[in-house]
Amino acid sequence: MKMIHSLFLINCSGDIFLEKHWKSVVSQSVCDYFFEAQEKAADVENVPPVISTPHHYLISIYRDKLFFVSVIQTEVPPLFVIEFLHRVADTFQDYFGECSEAAIKDNVVIVYELLEEMLDNGFPLATESNILKELIKPPTILRSVVNSITGSSNVGDTLPTGQLSNIPWRRAGVKYTNNEAYFDVVEEIDAIIDKSGSTVFAEIQGVIDACIKLSGMPDLSLSFMNPRLLDDVSFHPCIRFKRWESERILSFIPPDGNFRLISYRVSSQNLVAIPVYVKHSISFKENSSCGRFDITIGPKQNMGKTIEGITVTVHMPKVVLNMNLTTTQGSYTFDPVTKVLTWDVGKITPQKLPSLKGLVNLQSGAPKPEENPSLNIQFKIQQLAISGLKVNRLDMYGEKYKPFKGVKYVTKAGKFQVRT
């Protein structure tokens, strides 16, 4: 497996603004095959991730309006490369706060140093954020000011000890004055609701994100009130698998900082509570250039919590020219170019249900759209894990101090779609 030969970063307008080679140099012209495929694909989402060219294979990902195009010469599992490229994008995000062309260009030297450490001869070397941060310090405003005065550098002069230990995800010698461990249980409801309001498909996907700032080498174990709810779990490498298998306890020495502890799916036997309902009536009249649009949102099975942060996004058919709507709550925008209607609703108050209604202007003479657009809904419920998952306790071993512990629950809409 020769793995990754070269990497090109390409922005939306097709400029190659960064290239890195881990072996002999591959000419930029190899990207022409990519541009060709991009042209054929019409939109960015449909560019095939794997493209075969006469001498190379191109494996690309699309993240944050950028294409990461890697050049491969021989057989390699495509997911291996895709996973790695996403890891690179994650690292940029982690270092610069955003993974954008501007951020990458501003920090081109750090980017280069990172890429140099992450791959050796095209094979991944150091990809753990904890190790990388020991090797190359992330830029901060303060540091860049200090550096420009003192002439010191971003490259750590300490050697990355984590790389040598058998817990490569944690750096040594961590010290905090306030020792804290926070866990966010975030659940997302994926659902397809059909025209009549019945659920075609629904499931709950959850993650536990941790923010751990603990000194030394803490050994944590996290237990749940109802661990059987978790049907399919994927773990951060720090978790001891055996312990989970036998006791259903998450036992681990955490990385320092923010990381995703587990992601899980709630078993499909449990019925999924759908917190909102939508009443909709969308119709286009035959032989006339207008249609009616009327939607109302209301709470359903919301467990007594407030539903907030509601937005409704609708991709209207191409023949729609404009929309004349009135709303009882929030605000709406319609982009006549992309034909996307966005309604920012906010909170639902059960006394007065928010609605959006009005007329749709169609291109005259064009046949009426056959399909009504589906509605994509976003919402958020604080302090609730919709599956009912509850953390029981968090214990710490190996260190003497008493950490501050916290768990936060939140439920969100995932891919929540209402067909009309």
Least separation, in Å, of the C-beta of 247 and other proteins? 14
Query: Are 292 and 281 within 8 A, CB to CB?
Result: yes
Least separation, in Å, of the C-beta of 206 and other proteins? 11
Burial of 384 from C-beta contacts in 10 A (0-12 / 13-18 / 19+): buried
Exposure of 286 in the CB half-sphere (CA atoms within 13 A): 1
Least separation, in Å, of the C-beta of 11 and other proteins? 13
Residue closer to other proteins (CB basis): 40 or 393: 40
Pairing state between β 340-346 and 331-335: antiparallel
Residue closer to other proteins (CB basis): 234 or 333: 234
Residue closer to other proteins (CB basis): 127 or 306: 127
Exposure of 73 in the CB half-sphere (CA atoms within 13 A): 12
Structure tokens at 103: 């951020």
Least separation, in Å, of the C-beta of 401 and other proteins? 29
Compute φ and ψ for 115, nearest 5 degrees.
Answer: -60, -35
Residue closer to other proteins (CB basis): 347 or 368: 368
Longest dimension (CA), the chain: 77
Least separation, in Å, of the C-beta of 178 and other proteins? 28
H-helix or E-strand containing 350?
none
Least separation, in Å, of the C-beta of 321 and other proteins? 16
Query: Are 382 and 201 within 8 A, CB to CB?
Result: no
Residue closer to other proteins (CB basis): 49 or 353: 49
Question: Whole-angstrom Cα distance, residue 316 to residue 86?
Answer: 31
Q: How many residues belong to the chain?
A: 420
Residue closer to other proteins (CB basis): 45 or 400: 45
Only one residue has tokens 């960064």, namely 18
Residue closer to other proteins (CB basis): 125 or 328: 125
Least separation, in Å, of the C-beta of 98 and other proteins? 15
